[in-house]
Structure formats: C-alpha cells, structure tokens
Structure 1
Amino acid sequence: SHLRGPAGPGQPTGGWWSGIVGPGLAIDTDRWYVVAPNMLGGCQGTTGPASVAPDGAEWGARFPYITIRDQVRVQAALADALGIDVWAAVIGGSMGGMQALEWGVGHPDRMRRLAILAAPAIASADQIALNSVQTEAIRMDPAYRDGDYLDAADGDGPHRGLALARRMALLNYRSPDELNQRFSRSWQSGISPMGDEGRYAVESYLDFHGNKFTRRFDATSYIRLIDAMSSHDVGRDRGGVEAALARVRAATLVVGIDSDRLFPVPDQRLIARHVPGSVDGGEVVVISSDYGHDGFLIENEAVGRELARLLDAAV
C-alpha cells in the first residue's frame, strides 16, 4: 500500500504510516523530502510478476527469484536517478527494515542516519518455516496453475490460496494477548461454533482480512516477496552477520516491539550490539505494545518519538 494519505482508487486502505509521516509529524514533510518506493517484485508500481515483460506478455511465473539485496540495488539506482548521493536517513520496518539494514551494510557511505524497526539481520529457521507454509498454500490452490493464471476471468485466480496465506501471516502480525482481548472465545453469530455451522469471531476476522487482501495483491508477487524475506542474510558473502554489521557507518536506531512474535526483540538486539554507530550504546529501544509485530505501524506516539530523536541528532 502507500505510505500516507487516505484510501482511494487503487488504494483500498489508508496509508500505513499516516500517523508518522506528514506535516508536523515525526517524519516532518515540511522539513524532509521523503521517498518511499514500492519494492521490486511487488504489485503497486515497481516491476513485478504482473508487469509486462520485454516480450510483451506479463512476467507471471517467469518473474525471477529476487532477494532483499536485489531490491536495495533497485532503490540505489532510483536514488542515482533522483540525484541523491547521501540520504539524511534510511528508515524501515519489517521487510522495509531488512532493506534499510541492507542499505546500511551494502551502501554505508550513502546515509547519515539509519533506523531499523521490528526487523532481523538474518531470517531464522522459524521465519523461513512460516514463509514456506504460506507459499505452499498458494501453490496448492488449483487456480494458481503453476503461476499461469493472469489471463483468468475476473473473480478467478488463486484467491483461496492467497487468502489462506494471509491468514497464516496475520497470526504472527498480532499478539496472543491482543487477539484474546479482542475476541476471547466469542461467537461470530448466535449459532454455536461447537458444530458444523457456527464460527468463532476470530475466524471471521481472519477470513475478512484474508479475502480483503486478495482484492489488492497478486499471488505470485506474494510468493516472490516472501521468498525474498527468507533469503535475507546481511552476512551472506560478507564474512557473516557480525562482520557485515560492522560495516554500518550511520548513526543507527534499532527498535523492537516487546510482543512481536514474528521478529522478536532478540533479532533487533543482535543488530544493536554490532553496529558501530548505535545511538543507544548498543541497546535496543523496546516499545511496549499489545499489538505484536504490527506495533511498529500502530504505536505512532512511541515510534514517532524515537524517529524524531534520531532525525534531530547531529551527525
């Protein structure tokens, strides 16, 4: 989706950081020129599987395997085209945090400040396992047709597999406490779920968001982006993670969410301890939130305070 602004044509939801980026906000657009490119492999502008290939047909399943490092190479080319030699700051959360860290390691002279939020330096076995079952859910949908579905009629396509993959992901975006507080064991209707007809409210929540996601996202894009996250390892071909982190030259803020079960705080602690320019003496700023991984998107006051502190730092 887009960084900030209301929902509209092509954007069924509001901007994901509208409470952080904008006039007078933590990332103040009256002060800073903000660039937020869609990522390579996605389906919101930058080339992805639904884009037209040089032969005039859509890429579809022919779209190549990509890594976080590939995505950052594309972003660096964009910076070159814009005439930006050095960023005032590179900031990212979740997959964007992987990209931001790759910027810091792979292009250490091209930023003054770096912020990594709710992201790891390397994808763990647990994270790769979660990713694998999501992509398998899509591939097992008969409508996926080995990725050859882009000519399907409106309403057709691997929507069931994509919705199921999104439901799996949502379970790790939110925390157990938040789900219990919101839904407990409540029923979706007056019919008991202890049978074949009724449902629990939390099931309906997952269905709603899974189905909503299929209206704005391409299944093969989802697979390519998930695979890119599994590929993430800043230490690959660089002597390992610690040696790679030692390359970072920017003043670096590292933020974790205490209830994040997708990329838990130890992932951020590894980064903070090994980047030379930690603004917090090698410590992670831990934000308390009931919202799990999505806390970096929801806890605007706490996240904004830390980002403003970084941007105000003299470097």
Structure 2
Amino acid sequence: MQSTTHALVPPAQPDVDACLQAVRNLAKGEGVTLTPLPKVWVVKFSQSAPYYRGRNTGTSLAIAASGTKAVSVENNRLVNDESRFLVLHGERPYDAVVHGSEDVPYVALKLQLPPELVAKTLIEFAETGYSPPKVGRMLPAFCDFLTPDLATPLLRLIRALDDPIDCRMLTPSCLSEICYRLLRSEAAGVLRTSITSEDVKLVRAMRFIEEGANSPLTVADIAAEVAMSPSHFAHRFRSCFGVSPMRYRAQVRLEQARLLLLNTAATVSRAAEEAGYASDAHFSREFREFFGVPPRAYVQNMQALFSQANKP
C-alpha cells in the first residue's frame, strides 16, 4: 500500500489561516452542519472513530481545519489533517480513521464539484492552449497542503454563505476558481478522471448554443451536433445544467440583448433583432420574465444606479 509522506508544516499564511478559521466557525455542533448550498457542508467530530468504511460519490473536496482523518482508497493511504485538502473521486468505497478530541476536534469543509464544471474548465483550458499537469496515472485520490491560491476562493465562498444575494451571485464564480486552481495543481490527476465523454459533449453543446444562439436552433439540431439522441440529450442537459437547452439559448440571447441595450444607444427593436427575435413583443415578454422588468425600464433603472454610484 502506498502512503503519503508529510513535509514540515509550511509557515503561517494569512489567507490559509483565515480560511481554516472560517471553516471552524461554520461548524455549529457535532456531526454535519449544512449550508445554504446543497453540495457544501461542514463536519465536526470531538472524539475518534477508530475505523469506519465510507463510500464516495462524484468528486469531493475536503479541507481539514483541525484534527486528522486518514483515508485508505485502493492502494493509497492519505492523511487529511489541519491545513491539508483531500480530493476524492468516483463511486468507490474507502476506509477511514478519524482522530479528534474535545480539545482538537476533527473539523473539515466538504464540497462536491459538479462534473460539468470540471469539463467546462478543461475545455476552456484547451481554448487557451494550456493543458493541466500531466500525471503518470489517473489517481482515485490526492492530498496536499492548502495554498493561498486555493484558500482565497474557498474563503470567499464561505463568506458568501452569510448573505442570500452573495450566495446566489458569487458562489458560482468561487466554485469555478476552486476548480481552476485544482486543475492547475497535481490534483488534476484526480479531477480529469471525473469527466466522461458525455460530459464533454454536453459542454460542447453549451458552446454550440452560445455560438449560434441568434440562429434557428432546435433540440434535435444541438443533439445532432454532439452525436446524441434528442431525448437523451435534453434530459442530460437539464440534469447537468439545471435548465433546458432551449431555455439556455433564450438566456444567452437575452444576455446579449441586455449588454447591447446598456453599452450602446440601441433601441428595443434593434436589440430584439440583433438577438434573433421575430417580434419586439416576444422579446419584451421574455426579457421581463428573465430580468423582472421590461427592457426600457431595465435600462432606465440601471442608468439611475450608475448615475448614483458615480456621484462624488
């Protein structure tokens, strides 16, 4: 059985220390503390669990803020203790030993990374010409010291949990940066195993929709582009992204129109035409449904906000 070796604990780093303290503060009691995000939670154990068997699903990230958890998966033994993070992937069993006490409980932040986020980030890497670090073999798990690069978006994510609006608006970008930082580290050997060919197809379908949003597109057209059956494609797309393909296309078109209205002197008619809408009425109806107000009112409201913000 292979075992990780530990170097000396690195010197104190403000971002890392603040992140670990924020994790400890999230633990409200023994066991699991839930957060507003369904795939983010905290665990706390004030006594040792000499041995237990667990089962991981998906791709999970654990950041230990105190105490120790030793995990054995396949032929790898990894120690997740204070200031280290553990990445575990796949629906596979693992053995674990938790060392915690009243004075030094085991406290860790746990989060799951959606496979489509990993796939999307990898594709964006490919578009820049960058490739994640190559590894000799795909790993089921990885453990290393928490670095400021990774601690910073984790800390922002934790702080965003305190405010409903921050949670909704900021957490997607925090999760994206967390994924990005992991993919630029040796943990990429784990994350790359979390992507199926179908996940990659779905992200390519998303790109195809974005590039052709203003053109006539049907679910069948998009499914054919990625060599999937229309019904299976529509089901998997909604399952992964939480929105139907056609609804996502509408969101892309409306966002293009919104930016055109704000950044130019475009009329509502021109914005509707540029976004591929056949009528102003249809455009205005969908715009109001998505942004809460009609296009003209939206522009007026935003101009008022910008004016107020620019006052000395």
Establish whether TM, by shorter chain, passes 0.5. no
Scaled to the shorter chain, the TM-score interval is under 0.3
Larger helix share, 1 or 2: 2
Q: Please give the TM-score of this superposition, normalised by the length of structure 2.
A: 0.23
Q: Please give the TM-score of this superposition, normalised by the length of structure 1.
A: 0.23
Larger strand share, 1 or 2: 2
Task: Give the number of the structure with larger relative contact order, counting CA–CA contacts within 8 Å between residues 6 or more apart.
Answer: 1
